[in-house]
Structure 1
């Protein structure tokens, strides 16, 4: 050991027994506490993980069981502190306070002596020498590593400077670095560029909104990618394809932005020239189509009028029907051309929204039942019940593709054929929708060109078929616009299968599969099929029942015991049909064509192809609960469980939301501004927050930020927040979601959208509220569509009158205030009042007031001096004066 520790050995038991006292003394010194706080070191963690270990090491040295000079616990502490940039003098202070604590304890315990102090100092000095050496070696290694990284980064910079256009700017847009490539390309000198605003090279063709979006993305995502057109010193221009990244200096929190790009001027010029030529062609097609459609609409209109004449001869009626048929075909061709030219010109936009694929496909299928039945074609379907309930994509374009594929299938399938539609969602969130027919098929040599514009495959009797040949090309381009693809397999004379695959986002993982089928499963259900044949028609139902885990036995007679028997109407005749009609048992008839022949028999419920989840469910419910489907039934609306925070400053909106929440069985608290909402949120527990975006004191976006910050600081579970907003400008929703909103509710409030939010975030109550059939009422409100509002908002007459009176009272105050603000040109006040009027009137579907309010708000925000505020104000005033409660 090099020195005997007689005094320490003698008093070691006293020290060990007082371990906790010594450790608490160690961290009680003010300067040590400041050090721990400065480097964000938890006191309890420091004592438990490190302090106790250091004490035990010292006791081991005294006992002679541990070698002096290299405390492993101190090395462990240094590893913990390596990312906290602790200095050597701070390290010494931490260690010396331990020594100080030990020495002070010896005085308090009255065991102190000069010899004991020397022995303590000896152990401390030897240990600290080793720790300091370990610290210095580690720092030296870090410095060497930093030097290597700096050299490597310099090499990277050289490589980048040689191959790319590089510049840096600070958070004010001032250029702090520019490389030679940028200097040569722009024509400006380095001295001219350095210290100047980066916008000095901005080209007039670049809209201000582009750079607003750029800064928005840099602030929120930290990166921006795009193509920017710049001006040269000589008046020319150049395009740079750039990636701009936000860089934060960890030492002083300063921010700068580095831009790395490539010159793409030649490429873009060539592309623009090609686009000009393409646009000219598309403009010609589009213009020609519009010009033809105008007289064609008149022709079709007058033909329809003539067909309705009673004194037409059969021959003349036949001629008119031919003209009408041909005219409608021509109109369809023109519409195809317009869609095609929009896709080519870039005017066609994809607009994703939340939707149910089960609803969208079933509705689309029903549109084609009549045209399929006209050719005696059976249309079957299987929409996988496990597809999530809510997807996010452009449902309108998906339906357009399906409609095109169905239309083609019906066109190319002969009389008496079969078409099958299927939809599944793959594990990688790819929605696949396929259409299979047993029609005339496509030759293999034609398949490659099938999606090419203006082409039709050399199908049998193709000369007899009408159309542009654009349908499949439009499907192909629509799918590509959505990031998907269209495919086909076919065999000449046997049929074709077309399918589209579209990437979708899953908004609600709950699926369409019905969870409450226990009663159906308990019933003995059979499927009657002559000779036990299971063809495609039987499969169309049984595939669903298999998914529902309904144990259905296939039988070839109806003599046995059963609760429900399912049969295909096409294959039932004679005595069996009579027995079914006269039976006292329950049956489900599946028909190929729409028919009401079983409606008068309460024990028989019927469903027509195509079958899908909701149709099957309704068919069974009509059979089992006939009273619920009577004409004078009571309807039940859903109730939910939860406590909701409403943040809304508009009084009329407040009352409407309060009434709606009460109807859905929800409790609530009301805040009239963002600050009040934040304070309420901190004081109480909520299941959902409905937050208006634009409020006084603190707006909705700021309030949401404060709530999320509060949740993170306290490790709280996130409470879903839905925006209440009249702002429908493109990009507003995306920016709101980035701000922290979980979903969006537009104004005016739409009940289905409100229910969607409740379904997403709240528990459904088992209790249902009875909504009795509306009694006759006297319309006591002038100037509003009373029936429409009652139906859309699910409000009683008294509730609606109360809200309208509240609205008119508020308007009586706001209209003079708005007029006064317009006179004084107080733009801020004008915008605020107009926004409030716009939101309130939207709830009552007063479109003229909404539109004028939106105009005034937009113009006032832009401080447009030339806008005729008085004219818009008069329109609002006149529209409101027309509303009266009698």
Structure 2
């Protein structure tokens, strides 16, 4: 409150003092008032104060104005009218300027300077001064036009002289911090004062044009503060000397009114020119300083960057390269300037980097350059060591014209990453080689394991048919058969998974009835379910299309795994197979639901992983490799489908899979079911050559075939098989695929090529490998190991009744 009151008193005194000076001093020299400073003083005080103080300051100004008017001899009415118009002019000027500049005005900003000059220096005096001069002329008489012009110019000159100067002086500390007074600046102000004194101290020559250039020089050297100070000094010197009867103004012979007007115009133009120039000079200096700081900051970033920042012109010559070149390339940046960067590149990679750069550099004018392409290449350090670099050359354009100026590039050392990539590639190649070796090992293991299993299971089956075998012996034989089949299932799982990993399993889709596949699977697993008193049933297969185009063997394998697991882990209740077909999407969905222990949510993601079993106790109780579900997932995905599980612990589980299955050709008539026929037998008296390196397998085949009247000859390897086929005629040849000295495929090809008596006879592949892929065309059929009587006899019968093979 005390500060506000003190400010109001200061405004009252200042307004009254300036009014007295502007009226009494010219009157003493018989001059009209050439300048009215009080309104500019009040406007400057208002603009430098917060809005809440304006009422107090205006009240102080009213008090000072009334006092000055009374001292000048104005009547109370005239005094009140003039005071009201003067206060209104100052308040209008301050209000209008503040609407543009906000609460803080800084004449060092060109916008604020122009706002004060246009709104405070011209608009407000033009409005209020016209009204005041018109009333004054009406009350006291005189030429209206001359009074209006003189009054308005007085107010404008006062507003433009003292207003900016006071606003600058109020912030003198800020301007001095930005631009301290220098010896050159002080000298320029002294020169300005001397020049003004010289011009206005003589009355012979109209040298007014010499003052504004000096004021501009001061504004350039000392910016806003210097311009304001020079404006005050020039106005003071000019007014004092002019009022005292000196100066070029007195060369004008049109009277004191015209002289006063010319002086006012001179001072107004001088101030109006110097102050805006000072503001623009300050802004220019700030922009340059900001640009220098930005340049320094960007240069610091470029020089501190770990990557090389480079720029080349449109001819490929390096114009800038950051200090990181010293660390990455071993060159000093100066050594690479003015040269082509390609000189450090590996010869084999120059074309690649040149192509990327030229693609950017040769972009047609007016066409947006293509996205920068990242390229990796080799380069040589100064010490000769080769390194890998990565860069992304980008077209640089002029920010104003948009014309291309060169190529900017950020170059990174990626030697460590490329070394790691090369190591990973080598490791991958090594892993793939190891996988191939593993596959070959598993294939050999398949042969070596299945060969004795063929004898074990085959002879166990033959022994089980012996009538003289005791009950205990039959039980032992059953145990041998069961153990052999279990071992065979384990081997098959491992081999199937290995073939899935290697992509060696091929699909053989054909049109089949899904009801037949379901029936076969349930029939195979019915004994296991019956042994545990489980209900095993199917739902929905009879509503599916009668024929679907699928791979029945792979679908059957998946169903056997899912239903087999359900039967294995379910102790009470049922196992249900549900079949559904979506006609719109052409997809077959099958699900197996059981009433077993269920699968916890946390374990559901594990059960399809290889060699994964979620409960070791269940593993010990039920056995298994943990590959069944992993194989099922692989087969379903190979068929283009999805597989999953839905289960709650303790409430059973539902395993499902979904595969694409197009409908097969429909039949208008339902074929009658064909009753099972007896096992096909080869014609009696036929001669068969058995080529196998395993004596047990040869004896097993001999036992089966001789029982049905077939004459059997044997060969212990491929070489003996070729010799036997060349020496005698056989109706069929049973050929093992893996044998020492000469394998089965090569032996069969030689038999065909040598055109012996058995060259056109059917040759049947006899090996565990016949399941792993397509059969060589040299063979007429295949029967897998372990041997089954039905497979052997049916394959042999089919081969004997088929068309003979042509010899090569």
Q: Same fold (TM over 0.5)?
A: no
Higher strand content, 1 or 2: 1
- Larger gyration radius, structure 1 or structure 2: 2
Q: TM-score, normalised by structure 2?
A: 0.31
Structure number with greater CO (CA < 8 Å, separation at least 6) is 2
Q: TM-score, normalised by structure 1?
A: 0.28
